[in-house]
Amino acid sequence: MRHRSVTYSSEATFQALADPTRRAVLDLLRRGSQPAGEIALAFPVSRPAISKHLRLLRRAHLVQEHREGRHRVYQLNPEPLRAVDSWLDQYRSFWSANLASLKAFVEAECAKETRPPRAARPTIKIRVSHRKENDGKPTHR
């Protein structure tokens, strides 16, 4: 198949996604393939305008077209969106990474700072229960 041999152009993907009508077309196709005519009916824009949108989506490989009799049927191809997702991931990773680092740091420091009062109680409880087996030998102050 033709589209398998190409490298998806991120520019074409972003350009295709930049338009609200084209994003809406993708949302529509998420529910299943549609003939061009049905897609056009779903939007309050002219038939040529929808054709142009579909052409841009096709060039960005976000949709694939095939013929069924007289109809041209469009199918969603989400593959190029992976690049977008990874792009966003890189974008959020700066703060995500720093927040994860903040969490690890504060929780470790906080545990150190609050350990004495918190740790004391369960330790005593355990010793108390062991004491009986130890012939009543006191193991705590």
Partner 1 sequence: MANPPTADNDVLVTEIHIAAPPERVFKALTDSQELIRWFTSPECPAKLWEMDARPGGSYRYATEKGTVVVNGVTEFEYHGEILELDPPRFLAYTWIANWHDDKSRSTVVRWELTPDATGTRVKVSHSGLSQENVARKDYSGGWPGVVEMLKKFVETK
Positions in the binding site for partner 1 (CB under 8 A): 7-11, 14, 18, 83, 86-88, 90-92, 94-107, 109-110, 113
Tell me whether residue 46 or residue 96 sits nearer to partner 1 (CB atom).
96
Residues 6+ apart with CB under 8 A from 60: 8, 9, 12, 13, 15, 16, 17, 80
What count of other Cβ atoms lies within 10 Å of the Cβ of residue 74? 24
Tell me whether residue 94 or residue 132 sits nearer to partner 1 (CB atom).
94
Minimum gap (Å) between residue 67 Cβ and partner 1: 30
Which secondary structure element, helix H or strand E, spans residue 75, and what is its range?
strand 71-76
- Residue 65, CA atoms < 13 Å, CB-side half-sphere: 16
Minimum gap (Å) between residue 91 Cβ and partner 1: 5
Minimum gap (Å) between residue 89 Cβ and partner 1: 9
DSSP-assigned letter for residue 37: H
Minimum gap (Å) between residue 110 Cβ and partner 1: 4
Tell me whether residue 27 or residue 38 sits nearer to partner 1 (CB atom).
27
Q: What letter represents residue 51's amino acid? A: S
